[in-house]
Amino acid sequence: MIIRLLYLVFLLGVTTTSIAQPKTPATGEIMYHVFQRSFYDSNGDSHGDLNGLRQKLGYLKELGVTSILLLPLYEADCYHNYFANDFESIDPEFGTLNEYLSLVRAIHAQGMKVYMDMETQYVTEKHAWWQSAVGNRDSPFSDYLLFDDSAHNTPATMIFGLRVLNGYDGRVIKVTTVNLKSKQVLDYNRRLFGFFLDPNQDGRFDDGVDGFRLDHAMDRLDDKPTLIDLFASFWKPLVDDLKKINPGITIIAEQADWTDYGFDYFHRAGVDRMFGFELRQAILSFDKSQLIHKADTTLRLCPPGKQQIVFLENHDIDRLASTIEDRSKQKVAAALMFYMGGVPAIYYGQEIGMQGKNKSFGNTDGNNIPVREAFDWYRSGEGLGTAMWYKRSGPWWDEVNNKANDGISLEEERADSGSLFNYYRTLIQVRQAHPALSGGQYSHALNDNERVFSFTRAHGPQRVLVIVNLSNEEQTASLLDPVQVQRSLFGSSRLKNNRIRLLPYEVTVFELK
């Protein structure tokens, strides 16, 4: 009821003095992509929640995080909260609207930003549009959904041609596609997104998100013939109108095709950031030629004023620690993520080496639970706040990755100076201390060794050189273009006469004269 009352205020267009906050530079931004249901449980119901996340903001500051990307918050039957029952209600397992607003204000008070994940292209049979429009052509929402028949008795399929999703908890969830060609739907999205930018309409934005992630954004949604040219007819108008409310926001889009660099989204949809899927593949390949090629395309060709998010994990793909078991290689991958360019994003638990791979347990969304397990706070694997909402709910529990005394927990790693957690903290501290690393232009630096990858970053008067041994053996490399080192910023090996000898999987960073 509270959110609907505030939402009504927004719909009525209460006049306020808008104070457009200037967009702060992304220099130094470190994103933390949190699956909030699995992060920290504040009330003992085993579900991570908004108050739990607020209680752990100190941990994120300790790590070095400067912005938080949430998964959807709206009410839904799916545990991941995509496919909404009601876009205007906070999932009660996460908390209340007031608790959400308290979280946003607390994040801002810490000097951090917050982004909200939104996917308004689909609704379930519990949504008001479905309940009113299915079988009723006279419904005020008859134009809001797609139908397979003229009588509007059969809602259209969703992604992959599906009509039904099977929940991990046994729920059968009917889903359909929203008609993004409807002017009423576009207007609704303007109001919905706009509400979360400035809930109390005071123009200060201290209670509003700093931007949105547009999940599964497409120019032609799921190859449906009626949903074409959506960049021009839906996404660009929506983005433009949101930036009229707050010019300082950042719009992030997830490309449906993970081989797409996202340039079309930048130019035609007006978004600010895309995900560097291809660069991620290159980093995990440990192949120098792939790194050179993908970095040149992802970073050097990125349009001015736009950015790529550089990441190793997210809620849809296998955990890095289960893909690459060698901890030394995990550290190299992390260094490349933080130092190559773009905006680095940590998926919750990545910083402590949490494990998990997507499984095939049948037709169920439980297949993805292994990459969305509870954050491992404690040596014992369980304890106050551990969000094991999936406990004893299916075969994913029988193969759970979270185990006691396995060296993979915040409690164990905090005290270990050589841990992955402390390595992440050090990487971030070095990055934040040097503008060239946090916001400089990437350029490949030639050397004579196919197992050694080197590049420079330049910002204003500062220029740094990063040299990485991609192999498990010592390597010697000579730079083909002479440089002068001012000082070493990271790593133990030294560059002398443009030549360096590197330990296995060593990362070195030098500030140049």
State the CATH number of the domain containing residue 455: 2.60.40.1180
Q: Provide φ and ψ at 280, rounded to 5°.
A: -60, -45
One domain, residues 163 and 193: no
Do residue 189 and residue 163 come from a single domain? no
Considering the domain architecture, whether residues 140 and 96 belong to the same structural domain is answered as no
**420 and 449 share a domain?**
no
Q: For the CA atoms of 253, 257, 263, 266, what is the dihedral angle to 10 degrees?
A: -20
The mean of the pLDDT values for the chain is: 94
Distance between CA atoms of 476 and 501, rounded to whole angstroms? 4
| Domain limit, last residue, from 429, 457, 489 | 429
34 and 60 both lie in a single domain:
yes
pLDDT over 50 (residue 48): yes
pTM: 0.94
Name the DSSP letter for residue 374. P
**Claim to verify: residue 372 and residue 425 sit in the same structural domain:** yes
Please check whether residue 435 lies inside any domain of the structure.
no
Residue 463 domain-assigned? Answer: yes
- Shared-domain flag, residues 85 and 36: yes
DSSP 3-state of 345: strand
| Pairing assessment for the beta strands 343-347 and 31-34 based on DSSP bridges | parallel
Q: Which of 388, 404, 429 is the last residue of a domain?
A: 429
Among candidates 311, 262, 299, which has minimal Cα distance to 439? Answer: 299
- Is the domain of 405 the same as that of 498? no
Q: Are 430 and 437 in contact (CB under 8 A)?
A: yes
In a domain, 307, yes or no: yes
447-474 mean pLDDT: 98
Segments in 80-205 forming alpha helices (H): 97-109, 128-133, 183-197
**Tell me: the pLDDT tens digits for 379-435?**
999 999 999 999 999 999 999 999 999 999 999 999 999 999 999 999 999 999 999
Question: Is 459 part of a structural domain of the chain?
Answer: yes
Domain boundary among 377, 407, 429: 429
Under 8 Å between Cβ of 228 and 222: no
Range of the domain at 151: 122-179
For residue 344, is pLDDT > 60? yes
Residues 257 and 374 in one domain: yes
- In contact, 67 and 112? CB cutoff 8 Å: yes
Q: Is the pLDDT of residue 15 over 50?
A: no
The per-residue pLDDT for range 287-300, each reduced to its tens digit, is 999 999 999 999 99
CATH of the domain at 250: 3.20.20.80
Mean of the pLDDT values across residues 124-150?
98
Do 450 and 384 share a domain, yes or no? no
Q: Note whether residue 269 is domain-resident.
A: yes
Q: What is the pLDDT of residue 385?
A: 98
* Single-letter amino acid, residue 168: Y
Mean pLDDT of 54-79: 98
Res. 22: pLDDT tops 50:
no
Judge whether residue 9 has pLDDT over 50. no
Asked if residues 371 and 319 have their Cβ atoms less than 8 Å apart, the reply is yes
Amino acid type, 296: D
Cβ count within 10 A of residue 52: 22
Answer yes or no: is pLDDT of 94 > 90.
yes
d(CA 211, CA 272): 10
Q: What's the distance, CA 195 to chain centroid?
A: 22
pLDDT digits (tens, 9 = 90+) for 95-129: 999 999 999 999 999 999 999 999 999 999 999 99
In the chain, the number of structural domains is: 3
Name the band, by pLDDT with cuts 50, 70 and 90, for residue 12: very low
| Same domain, residue pair 76 and 139 | no
- How many angstroms separate the CA atoms of 321 and 319, rounded? 5
Q: Tell me, yes or no, whether 376 and 480 share the same domain.
A: no
Does some domain include residue 55? Answer: yes
User: How far is the C-alpha of 320 from the C-alpha of 332, rounded, in Å?
Assistant: 12
Degrees to nearest 5, angle at CA 413 with 409 and 418: 145
Whether residue 173 contacts residue 83, with contact meaning beta carbons closer than 8 Å, is answered with yes
Backbone angles phi, psi at 333, to 5 degrees: -60, -40
User: Can you give the pLDDT at residue 4?
Assistant: 53
Task: Residue 429: name the closest of 389, 471, 379, 489 by CA.
Answer: 489
Assigned domain for 434 exists: no
Q: Reply yes or no on whether the pLDDT at 8 is more than 60.
A: no
Question: What is the CATH classification number for the domain harbouring 151?
Answer: 3.90.400
* Any domain includes 362: yes
Q: pLDDT (tens digit, 9 = 90+) per residue, 235-265?
A: 999 999 999 999 999 999 999 999 999 999 9
Banded pLDDT at 27 (limits 50, 70, 90): low
